[in-house]
Chain A
């Protein structure tokens, strides 16, 4: 069971970092936020693409 939640937990942790970093500062913090929040969306895109092939 722990195995199943490992990737989701990692994505959630990265998302939280993304949600907070743009709040803490501007510039580099904003960029970190964009990159971190893009990651789960990229993951979705990757798996959808793989399924559609």
Chain B
């Protein structure tokens, strides 16, 4: 192990009683990569965060909620782009950052709206686009499973289920030797959605903030311990992987998270001042 991976030093393992049980009765266990202790997901604070994350991800409505939020992301981006277009004519003949404090109430709100909006527009666009991409995460994962992963496990379709499983440790070691300079991210056990019925799905990640998000799938025959398939993720999966940090801002330590929070507040300021301008319209 080289340098500890920031915000990402966990290993997740999917486990079940046997390879024949359905995927939804299996368990995902998350381990700290340094201490090998199970990461505690039962604490109060993470229960609240899980609640907020679910609300933010799908409004507790599953796929329908995700699609609704995808549409909202498109509207959000349309509003942002139209704001940038309107910025030109509305601030003509004004130096950047003008705040006409002596002017009418509507003009003051307009100046505030323009200042807050135009200075943060790059961040807003990136978070908006990546948020929209993230809403499609489940669909992208499902598409990858039914096309790429299906092709990787296709030669095994008619084979009997493995009876005695080979060593998981050996599978991980083999995978990491195959792709030097990587760490383990996830091992999916045979019978789980990301492994197929006959393989360990070993997912490796790189060592930089960027490559640590780009998982690389390898399939190891769970009976013989042989490597049977190794692929690059297709571009649309890579897009999804990179969209996650760029949406959540969890890739540059606490200062980046704090900056994210301030950008968030400014964006809320843009929304409120925009609503206010709409209310004050003549």
Contact surface of A with B, Cβ cutoff 8 Å: 1, 4-8, 11-13, 15-16, 19, 22-26, 29-30, 33-34, 37-38, 40-41, 43-44, 46-48, 50-51
Contact A23 B96 (CB under 8 A): no
A19-B126, A23-B251, A48-B99 as given contacts; A40 in contact with B119, CB under 8 Å: yes
B16 at interface by CB-CB < 8 Å: no
Q: Does B91 contact A (CB under 8 A)?
A: yes
> What residues on A are CB-neighbors of B210 within 8 Å?
23-24
Query: Which applies to chain A's interface (DSSP): helix, strand, loop or mixed?
Result: helix
Does B263 belong to the interface (CB within 8 Å)?
yes
Find the A residue at minimum CB distance from B253.
A30
Closest to A50 in B: B99
Q: Is the CB of A43 within 8 A of B119?
A: yes
Instruction: List, sorted by A's number, 13 A–B pairs whose CB atoms are closer than 8 Å.
Output: A1-B88, A1-B92, A4-B92, A7-B96, A8-B121, A12-B121, A15-B123, A19-B126, A26-B208, A40-B122, A41-B119, A43-B97, A51-B111
Q: B101 interface residue, CB < 8 Å from A?
A: yes
Instruction: Digitize B86-115: 1 where CB-to-A-CB distance is under 8 Å, 0 elsewhere.
Output: 011001100011010100000000010001
CB-based contact B122/A16 at 8 Å: yes
What residues of B have a CB within 8 angstroms of the CB of A19 in the complex? 122-123, 126, 246
Q: Is the CB of A15 within 8 A of B122?
A: yes
How far is A1 from B92 in the complex, measured between Cα atoms in Å? 7
Nearest B residue to A38 via CB reads B259
Enumerate B114-138 residues with CB–CB distance to A below 8 Å: 115-116, 118-123, 126
Q: How far is the CB of A36 from chain B (nearest CB, A)?
A: 10
**Within the assembled complex, what's the spacing in Å between the Cα atoms of A47 and B115?**
8
How far, in Å, is B259 (CB) from chain A's closest CB? 5
